[in-house]
């Protein structure tokens, strides 16, 4: 969730937002357009020329091919940005141990590190 709040430079956030908006608009439009083209192709097969039906089927195939291509390219781009962000924006927490009686500071920090659970997202220094 931190990546969605702060994905990196502002243009990356705008790109992600723009692609999500486009996906939300294009998906229903592509679905409705494909259904209408196929419905028209069925009507043309039953009542008029086969050439127009083949053209509508070809249009439907082209429409869904372009839609799938755009979706895959956009998804791959944002996955690449996420992996790059994850590699360069690692979360590091510096732990300062509490003072204890008669324990040198280097031994105290080693004891403190052993008792903590390690989270895969955090690096203990």
pLDDT in tens, 31-74: 999 999 999 999 888 887 888 889 999 999 999 999 999 999 99
Q: Is the pLDDT of residue 26 over 60?
A: yes
Q: Is the pLDDT of residue 4 over 60?
A: yes
| Total Cβ atoms within 10 A of residue 41 | 20
Domain range list for the chain: 11-89
What's the pLDDT band for 100 if we cut at 50, 70, 90?
low
**pLDDT higher at 27 or 49:** 27
What local confidence, expressed as pLDDT, does residue 61 receive? 94
Q: Quickly list H helices, the chain.
A: 2-5, 10-47, 50-88, 105-115
Q: Is the pLDDT of residue 24 over 90?
A: yes
C-alpha–C-alpha distance, residues 97 and 95, integer Å: 6
Q: Is the pLDDT of residue 106 over 60?
A: no
Full-model pTM? 0.62
Q: Is the pLDDT of residue 91 over 90?
A: no
Phi and psi angles of residue 116, each rounded to the nearest 5 degrees, phi first: -85, 145
Q: Is the pLDDT of residue 117 over 70?
A: no
């Amino acid at each position: 969730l931190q990546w969605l709040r702060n994905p990196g430079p502002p243009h990356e956030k705008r790109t992600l937002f723009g692609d999500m908006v486009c996906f939300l608009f294009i998906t229903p439009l592509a679905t409705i357009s494909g259904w209408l083209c196929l419905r028209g192709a069925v009507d043309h097969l039953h009542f008029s020329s086969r050439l127009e039906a083949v053209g509508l089927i070809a249009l439907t195939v082209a429409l869904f091919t372009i839609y799938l291509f755009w979706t895959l390219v956009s998804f791959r781009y944002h996955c690449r940005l996420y992996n790059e962000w994850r590699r360069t924006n690692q979360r590091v927490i510096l732990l300062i141990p509490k003072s204890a009686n008669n324990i040198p500071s280097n031994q105290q920090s080693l004891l403190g590190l052993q008792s903590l659970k390690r989270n895969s997202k955090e690096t203990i220094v």
